[in-house]
Structure 1
């Protein structure tokens, strides 16, 4: 006869409370922003943030391919089970509680004892080592809990490596690009996909090359409009530095770009001076910046389209009431 699993409480968790970090969690950020096979170190300073993630307390803000909008995703708790000889039943509780208990036990020994060669600090112990070696973090969309986002990590000693993700970085990014097809060229879309694909494959410098091409076309498109409108002179514009060009095109560029002219410098330095690892570290922020520009441009386009429609409707009404 199958027995029910009995969930037990952790004595240490009841006695020693801690502040839960549900957002801006270092491990949540790692899962979202790092590529496959990137690693993060587990330390005494961040172990409780890992416990927060394992306990299902962490939330991330990310694009939902099914909702086709940016959504908040919540993480599910990872359980831990064992067989109790005394009670003759399977018992369980959150794996988070086991990790926190182990930390509490080590903290009771005192810092001098923990840091000694014979008794060095660890984030896990032999009883839960097999349960923490390979972990799956399951996130679900706040608007529809059938929309999932899953990450798989492998741990070895005090290192965590991201070895799987579904939907992939490309799957999360590519559907969103369709929303901005009216404000970017087919070449922009193709090269942004290439940049994201290279990043997902662990190629940092190459991904920067495509981001710079997209940025240069954004500037070129805006300059064509400004020249056609007589706002700038082509010869003067062509001789200016990039930062100066951005200032000259302030009326034709999204505010985020005008207010952050350092983007191009970071991209160029990445291509010529930064390492692959540094480029991979910075890529998610730079990609988000490009996406923000596209979102702002799309909003401007929609506002202008709505303005034209309203103006036409008002003209029709005015003609009828004469």
Structure 2
């Protein structure tokens, strides 16, 4: 009955998170530090992102416990995370002045606010012609991203930072590939924890993400467009999630590991969302540099739309209900 559906939804809404705020903060720190490396950051960028994201998400969780407005929470958490990152690097700068040159690290520290599930599932809803749900989710995503980037721009303006990107690390290609595998796994594991997934699901998603994001970054290293690389990574993530479901269904893995594909694919491709592009777009917009702002906005948009398209194509290939309009 309708009443039973409402009772079930209330039960889900009131269910306590699986993880304490301190553990969620740690997972956020690990995820964003890994994200910083995958964006091209070095050791100091990772340290700054670790500290900022850990503190920022911990504050975010504590504020959510008091049922505060989501947009206010997002702005405050991003501002605190960015300031914590910048402050930690300036403190390190007293001992090693080169830490002061890492002016883009604060962007890595605030990527925990990216609303991955509504962003990706909104695109999938559009692919299924479920426009009311898709538009609702995408509008929510846009509002959260707007508040997060606005907070990041505010902090950057106050402390007079200009995020120019990360300088090349100059690592050996094989070492770089191994480090990407490790950090992609850690990043996807961390984001899975933020999505309140059980630990076994976090690990499976982490393995998928390690393979797909390393593939994406390797493709961009060979000069392939970021949009095509993002599509390919998302497509492979969808195919691997379907393959994992088939392995469980045929008894090659325990049945309790048969997680929903959406729970495995979204964390594994959220790490592909071009957060750096979005924050740079808002930074230039705040400086009234319109052309660079539009440039980075469209770069971000093209990559973002390729992610749900890749997942949708994977579902069309592996799922009859997606292949036909019935």
Q: Does TM-score exceed 0.5, indicating one fold? A: no
Q: Which has the higher relative contact order, 1 or 2, with Cα contacts under 8 A spaced 6 or more apart? A: 2
Structure 1 or 2: larger strand share? 1
Structure 1 or 2: larger helix share? 2
For the pair shown, the structure with the greater C-alpha radius of gyration is 1
